Amino acid sequence: MNQNFDAIIVGAGVMGASIAFHLAERGLKVAIIERNVTASGATGHSSGLVRMHYDLAAESELTFASYKRYFSNWKERVGGDCGFIQTGFMQIAKREHEDKLRGNVINQQRIGINTSVISADEVKKLFPDLITDHFNYAAYEPDSGYADPTLTTNSFIESAKRMGGTLIQNCEVTAIRATGGKVIGVDTTKGSFDSPIIINAAGPWAKHVGSLVGIDIPLETWTHDVAFLHRPPSLGKFPAVIDDIINCYFRPEGSALILAAGEDESLRGEAPDAEDQTPTPTFVENLIDNMVRRIPKIEQSGLHSIHVGRDGITPDQRAIYSGSDLEGFYLACGLSGTGFKTSPAAGASLVELILDGAPKTVDITPFRFSRFAEGKLLEGEYGYGNIWK
């Protein structure tokens, strides 16, 4: 006899964990099925930024709700620890995008985000080790920073388990059963489980999971290299930064390291479980060259380590949070490398859509699956172009 659950989540990354937590909080009997172990995919290789600057207001709303209701109040709201460190966050824009930078900051201020446009001179006063010759203005969020994606995932799951949730690891979904236009359960390498609600939060495997019910999700894999550099002893305070001029982002990693990555050398279309975890040949050289343009003291640094992460990316590089044409089958995938910081509010909003018929925490309607068939891909109100080149 199959074991019955009120809801089954495929994927134990941070998004699946958030959904499990919010479903369990509403009293549902939840199972999370993970083909490997928790946070072993894109989540475990996430850079963990917690920032709110986006060129799409709907994404800023998700990140603001995630910061305000969760990351800044994690122990009381979720339990456990998310490892949030407040460093501040700065978005450096090209000079030709200064009007867009201001437009996005105005949109974010309307939402309630503590952000402002500051001059290059002000940046230099706050962070003297940063070279400011290449830009006139930046957006600055003093409340933002970074958190630990694995801690975040595990605390969501542990809280869900305390409320009756079940985690099934090293278990691959091999089939999804449906009848009469409704899902009824899954078959796995550890047996069959029944449920009227199945959520596809399978990261780079989400396209395959969709194919099990004949749904073609417009998603390809996206592989991204991230480096950890030794922090020069003389380097002073600096925030988390996304720098559109040098096409890099970076942040402190504790007191001894710097996490840094480029935005223009990611690979597309590799198998979700590709064995090759080596960076692209020019990754480190290009990264260091670009980083030195912003922080000259990086020349005194050295490489500590590299990891390679893989996620699913959609044509507009925005997530899918949505129902589907198959009753009971929901999507929380295509996160395109930006899912971590939105995961608390996105999980809450999707659960509201599932149980209440409409989201309340944040309106996730713009992230509907049908937008691709409608030809209504998401574009920023003051767009900077695609994040990943």
What is the pLDDT, as a whole number, of residue 123? 98
**Mean pLDDT value of segment 119-140:** 97
* Average of per-residue pLDDT values in the chain: 95
Decide which of 279 and 167 is more confident: 167
Domain ranges of the chain: 3-45+150-219+316-374, 85-145+221-310
Long-range contacts of 358-362 (CB under 8 A, 24+ apart): 361/65, 361/69, 362/58, 362/61, 362/62, 362/65
Please give the structure tokens belonging to residue 194: 């029944």
- pLDDT at residue 385 in the model: 84
> What does the pLDDT average to over 39-54?
95
What are the φ/ψ torsions at residue 259 (nearest 5 degrees)? -90, 135
Q: How confident is the model at residue 306 (pLDDT cuts 50, 70, 90)?
A: very high
**For the ranges 18-32, 318-332, 375-389, which has the lowest average pLDDT?**
375-389
Residue 213, Ramachandran bin (φ over 0: left; ψ between -120 and 50: alpha; else beta): alpha
Spatial distance between the Cα atoms of 362 and 352, rounded to a whole number of angstroms: 10
Architecture of domain 85-145+221-310: 2-Layer Sandwich (3.30)
**Residue 268 predicted with pLDDT over 90:** no
Q: For residues 255-276, b (16+ Cβ closer than 10 Å) or e, as one string?
A: eebbbbbbbebbbeebebeeee
pLDDT attached to residue 389: 56
276 pLDDT band, cuts 50/70/90, is: low
pLDDT at 327 over 90: yes
Q: Please determine, for residue 269, whether its predicted confidence score (pLDDT) is greater than 90.
A: no
3-state helix, strand, coil in the chain (%, to 5): 30, 25, 45
CATH of segment(s) 3-45+150-219+316-374: 3.50.50.60
pLDDT digits (tens, 9 = 90+) for 68-85: 999 999 999 999 999 999
Using 50, 70 and 90 to split pLDDT, how confident is the model at 279?
A: confident
Q: For residues 307-317, give the mean pLDDT.
A: 93
Cα–Cα distance measured from residue 194 to residue 354, given in angstroms and rounded to the nearest whole number: 17
Helix then strand count (H, E) for the chain reads 10, 22
**Beta-sheet pairing, 173-179 with 182-188:** antiparallel
